[in-house]
Structure 1
Amino acid sequence: MERRDIEIFLTLAEELHFGRTAERLHVSTARVSQTVKTLERRIGTLLFERTSRRVVLTPIGRRLEEDLRPAYQQIHDGIARAVAAGRGLDGVLRVGFVGTAIGQLVLEIANVFHARHPRCRVQIRESHYSDGVGLLAADEVDVLVAAADTRHIRDLDQSPVLLREPSVLAVSARHPLARRESVTLDDLARAKVLCPRGLPDEVDEVAVPAATPGGVVIERGPDFGTVQEMLALVGAGQGVFPVPAHAARYDSRPDVVYLPIRDGLPFEWRLIWRAAVTTNRIRAFSEAARHYLTAGVNPLLER
């Protein structure tokens, strides 16, 4: 098996989705499909069960993944260390984040990064909703951890999705919705939805659509610039706002209730940076993040 074939197989075993695997490895979906078919012909059995709805490993596929992953990771780490030594990866990487939980996640990734590149130091910087991507534009951070898709924003580049988590709706404990076990996007029409300052319109509309699936316009409430401002407004009954599921653990308040959004889009965390200044440090930090999150467990939810 070629190294690229192993990489495609292991990534698909982790993602269980042909499209996401292709996006992450910067190859076509057809290339992923053809590689898997070639491996299955060579081995003589199916490695994945495929239907129109899902992809799962077969027992033989899972055993192959368990056998290959440690050896592949050892090779990958060895090459990474050699490249870092040859390129002299050192200096400081400035990483921005929003929220306490993401700050902890960044520090854990930084530990993996520093173990691989001991001469390079990670400096963290808390960002706010009102900062948007301004810290990148102002050259105050080199890379930003954000739950946003910026592919259509000029001059920005981004990593593949590092982490996905469900969305929940932050509502006042006194709001009628708080008595529900869950909500849908149609329920957003029953309350004002807060407006984050600083986010580009195309990013904000991904988090909060202009209308419900039923076509009802979603009324917007007061704006906010920080997580704490948002929670204060929600707790005071000034509006609601969709947040990642980890908020129920890290931002617990007696005046705020978090309700699962059954048809809500997941929050997808990526690294974002200025395309013109892509560096070896950014690439190495992205690799460290993917290595730390390889197990497929969301550390923000599983602790």
Structure 2
Amino acid sequence: MELRTIRYALAVAETLHFGRASEQSLVSQPALSRQVKALEVELGVALFDRTSRRVQLTAAGSQFVPLARKALQMLDVAAEQARESARGQVGALRLGFVATAAIDVLPRILSLHRAQRPKVSISLIECTTGDQIEALQAGLLDVGLGRDLPPIAGLDVSVLRTEAIMVAVPATHPLAAVVSVHVDDLVGEPIVRLPPGMARRADVLLAQVSGLAISRASAVTAEQQANQYMTLLALVAAGTGVALVPQPVTRLRHDGVHYVRLEHADATSSLTLATRADDRSPIVRDFRTMLLGSDLARSAETG
């Protein structure tokens, strides 16, 4: 039973006229008549009563037509969903993200994605960059929004945007009165930081601060650790020390904290987009293409 033949029969049922049905179906009337007759033979019933003056549905035809029409509609829906799936426009995506992405970029990603791919649902998982690597490799995540992720075998890693690293200082600190500072200005300052590995570029800069202190025979910089940026800022506001933070953190307004630009060639942090290199999911490919082609993929301005 061919779909084309069923469509011919439905055209006849709609028009109750073989001539008009053939015009509507863009096929000659004899060919359409033969196809409908062949369908009736295959079904073993007459669908139409034909006379020289009129065409009517038989009782069997009255049963067949609405069900056949519904079946074709469902097939059309199935075909469109299959095409949308192949284009990555329907389905589900598991997205891991670091906390700093949630401050600025993530809400904009979700808004853009909802507008362009309303039939793709996103499951959000907040996790560190290191945890994202493990989850991607284990197949537990589809996409990771991490920070300063280096090239890793088996992963496709792209820089989504580059952001400045700022210095968070207590509002009453002398450095709060300047526009910018250099790394050597931080020598001897107590430091508040995230655990090593959670902010890779800040780790590098802080290592330089420690190196300068040692070379100058200065006291090694005292350090306090915080697991989250809000805690880190609270410690800075309390006068515990200064901290290096990516630019989006400056949006977390905190009384008692002032942000100063860090003048250094390496004072930038990259928000990276990572997927498995062997992932052929149309949804994942489409998501990567959408993000990397959007205005989110740019350098963030300092503020």
Structure 1 and Structure 2 fold alike (TM over 0.5): yes
Runs (4+) of structure 1 moved beyond 6 Å?
none
Q: How does 1:134-173 map to 2 (within 5 A)?
A: 134-138=131-135, 141-151=141-151, 153=152, 156-159=155-158, 161-173=159-171
| Equivalent in the alignment of 1:221 | 223
> Does the Cα contact within 8 Å between 2:192 and 2:242 map onto a contact in 1?
yes
Amino acid at match of 1:227: Y
Is 1:210 paired with 2:207? yes
Distance of aligned partners of 1:181 and 1:120 in 2 relative to their CA distance in 1, 3 Å threshold: same
Q: How does 1:96-115 map to 2 (within 5 A)?
A: 96-99=96-99, 102-115=102-115
| Equivalent in the alignment of 1:185 | 183
Distance in structure 2 (CA, Å) of the matches to 1:120 and 1:282? 11
> Does the Cα contact within 8 Å between 1:198 and 1:225 map onto a contact in 2?
no
Distance in structure 1 (CA, Å) of the matches to 2:222 and 2:155? 28
Measure how far apart 1:183 and its partner are.
0.7
TM, length-normalised to structure 2: 0.58
> 1:167-195, CA deviations, whole angstroms, 9 ceiling, x for partnerless residues?
21011123232222211111221313333
> Does the Cα contact within 8 Å between 1:157 and 1:274 map onto a contact in 2?
yes
> 1:227-272, CA deviations, whole angstroms, 9 ceiling, x for partnerless residues?
1111112112222221123333x21112111001122522221113
> 1:98-143, CA deviations, whole angstroms, 9 ceiling, x for partnerless residues?
346635422322333344433321222333xxx4421442465432
Distance of aligned partners of 1:148 and 1:278 in 2 relative to their CA distance in 1, 3 Å threshold: farther
> Does the Cα contact within 8 Å between 1:186 and 1:213 map onto a contact in 2?
no
> Does the Cα contact within 8 Å between 2:94 and 2:124 map onto a contact in 1?
yes
Q: Secondary structure at the match of 1:165?
A: strand
Distance of aligned partners of 1:157 and 1:291 in 2 relative to their CA distance in 1, 3 Å threshold: closer
| Equivalent in the alignment of 1:259 | 260
- The alignment of Structure 1 onto Structure 2 pairs a total of residues equal to 213
Distance in structure 1 (CA, Å) of the matches to 2:196 and 2:282? 29
> 1:129-169, CA deviations, whole angstroms, 9 ceiling, x for partnerless residues?
xx442144246543222231321x5654412x221222210
Distance in structure 1 (CA, Å) of the matches to 2:85 and 2:143? 22
- Superposed CA RMSD in Å reads 3.5
**Could you say which structure has the larger radius of gyration?**
2
Distance in structure 1 (CA, Å) of the matches to 2:289 and 2:234? 37
Q: Secondary structure at the match of 2:208?
A: coil
> 1:80-108, CA deviations, whole angstroms, 9 ceiling, x for partnerless residues?
xx985535653321223334663542232
| Equivalent in the alignment of 2:125 | 125
Amino acid at match of 2:271: W
Amino acid at match of 1:171: V
Amino acid at match of 2:225: D
| Equivalent in the alignment of 1:72 | none
> Does the Cα contact within 8 Å between 2:105 and 2:296 map onto a contact in 1?
no
> Does the Cα contact within 8 Å between 1:165 and 1:268 map onto a contact in 2?
yes
Structure 1 residues without counterparts, runs of 5 or longer: 1-81
Distance in structure 2 (CA, Å) of the matches to 1:209 and 1:198? 10
> Does the Cα contact within 8 Å between 2:144 and 2:275 map onto a contact in 1?
yes
Amino acid at match of 2:290: A
Structure 2 residues without counterparts, runs of 5 or longer: 1-81, 215-219
Amino acid at match of 2:157: Q
Distance in structure 2 (CA, Å) of the matches to 1:226 and 1:278? 35
Range with bigger deviation, 108-117 or 197-206 = 197-206
Percentage of matched positions with identical amino acids: 27
TM, length-normalised to structure 1: 0.58
Measure how far apart 1:220 and its partner are.
5.2
Distance in structure 1 (CA, Å) of the matches to 2:278 and 2:176? 46
Distance of aligned partners of 1:219 and 1:157 in 2 relative to their CA distance in 1, 3 Å threshold: farther
> Does the Cα contact within 8 Å between 2:179 and 2:260 map onto a contact in 1?
yes
